[in-house]
Structure 1
Amino acid sequence: MDLDTQDLLDPVGGGGALIGYARVSTKGQKLDRQIAALEAAGCQRTFSDKKSGKDTEREELWKALDYLREGDTLVVPSLDRLGRSIQDLITIVAGLRKRGIGFRSLHEALDTTTPGGRLVFHVFAALAEFIRELIVQGTHEGLAAARARGQRLGRPPAMTEEQIRHARSMLADPEASISSIAKLLGVSRTTIYKYVPELRAGHRPTMAAASRAELESS
């Protein structure tokens, strides 16, 4: 057995206190059943949040993580009570492992203080990494295919070709201000300067230039 495999099977945590964490999504939901299950599992202390799993401000979870010491085990009623996603779950449990703290989920019968439990969790982590790589690969392939079809990628331009033509035509009138033209077209002065570059050099399009540009674009 190589070192990596042996490290995989070595249990982490255990022997210390069992600390519970429970969570419900809304204030109207009850924590009683989760807390009872954690107490029945032998938890000496339980922290609980009444917030959505998508809410990063899970104060009681952070208190629980801070309270845990090496050798302790964090116990949850089920995996979905702890993490917002599989990646969030893996990140939290990996952080516990580095501190020598175990993790146990009652519903899934997952216990990282045992070799089998640690093996299952490593499979979860590998699967999450595989899915992430597939998503990245699919994104790159989709972008490459779009470029091959000649599709424009990224943000759409702030001004359309028609708006630019209108801007040049109106700028040919010396009495029309750049601010009023920008307001009329629904863009900023900065955008006008960006799409009509001769303005940056202090030159306004002439009527002849505007007409020529109109003919070239038609």
Structure 2
Amino acid sequence: MLIGYARTSTLDQKAGLEAQRRDLTSARCEKIFEEQVSSVNVEQRVKLDAAIDFCRAGDVLVVTKLDRLARSVAHLVTITETLAEKGVALRILDGAIDTGTPNGRLMLNMLASIAQFEREIMLERQREGIAKAKADGKYKGRKATAMARADEVKKLADEGMPSLKIAETLGIGKSSVYRILR
């Protein structure tokens, strides 16, 4: 059985999720697990865990791109080892990689290493750019979005709206609501 897994990092990436769903359906996945959560926080990847649990020996877990599955080589190794123990192959549509073959396993490990290297280089450049901007007095950090909406938070609280509903309505974190109301 072909089992698909689709992920986007944010709720705003609806088109990306739809494109993954389309590609997984075209690849003839019989069941597709979807979630919208950052890959950085791997503990919250409930649907990925569910997809892996759902897989049985002889199944293939299908993703559209490697970065939809794992952010680091270590995480990828953990996932592929878990799948291999269950007798499940991994197929990545972009790049035509299939861990059911020795060549596919080799290519996956090489691409994962390159992807992690690229990410680390990008983060290093980003840190350097921020440091330079700070030194030039051009970087002030990001503006506090919740505090900019403090008046709205207080108004809704005065109207009797519960804190969790305020956070949901304004699209800010519940801890920010509590902090403003303190």
| Alignment TM-score, normalising by the size of structure 2 | 0.57
- The alpha carbon displacement at 1:108 in A equals 2.0
Aligned residue among 26, 35, 38 for 1:52: 38
- The alpha carbon displacement at 1:84 in A equals 2.2
SS of the counterpart of 1:54?
coil
- The alpha carbon displacement at 1:116 in A equals 1.7
Question: What is the aligned partner in structure 1 of residue 4 from structure 2?
Answer: 20
| Alignment TM-score, normalising by the size of structure 1 | 0.48
SS of the counterpart of 2:91?
strand
| Corresponding position: 1:98 with 2:82 | no
Question: What is the aligned partner in structure 2 of residue 112 from structure 1?
Answer: 99
CA radius of gyration, larger in: 1
Contact 1:79 1:108 in 2 (8 A): no
CA RMSD of aligned residues (A): 1.9
| Cα distance in structure 1, aligned partners of 2:106 and 2:12 | 37
- The alpha carbon displacement at 1:119 in A equals 2.9
| Cα distance in structure 2, aligned partners of 1:83 and 1:75 | 13
| Cα distance in structure 2, aligned partners of 1:53 and 1:123 | 20
| Cα distance in structure 1, aligned partners of 2:94 and 2:62 | 11
- The alpha carbon displacement at 1:44 in A equals 0.3
- The alpha carbon displacement at 1:55 in A equals 1.7
Distance 1:122 1:51, change over 3 A: closer
SS of the counterpart of 1:71?
coil
Counterpart code for 1:54: V
- Structure 1 alignment gaps of length 5 or more: 1-16, 132-218
Instruction: Render the CA deviation track for 1:133-173: whole Å, top value 9, x for unaligned.
Output: xxxxxxxxxxxxxxxxxxxxxxxxxxxxxxxxxxxxxxxxx
Structure 2 counterparts to residues 6-85 of structure 1, below 5 A: 17-30=1-14, 31-56=17-42, 57-85=44-72
Counterpart code for 2:12: G
| Cα distance in structure 2, aligned partners of 1:54 and 1:87 | 13
- Structure 2 alignment gaps of length 5 or more: 118-182
- The alpha carbon displacement at 1:123 in A equals 4.8
| Cα distance in structure 2, aligned partners of 1:62 and 1:23 | 12
| Cα distance in structure 2, aligned partners of 1:54 and 1:79 | 14
SS of the counterpart of 1:104?
strand
Counterpart code for 1:85: S
| Percent identity over paired residues | 44
Distance 1:86 1:55, change over 3 A: same
Deviation above 2 Å: which 4+ runs of structure 1? Answer: 118-125
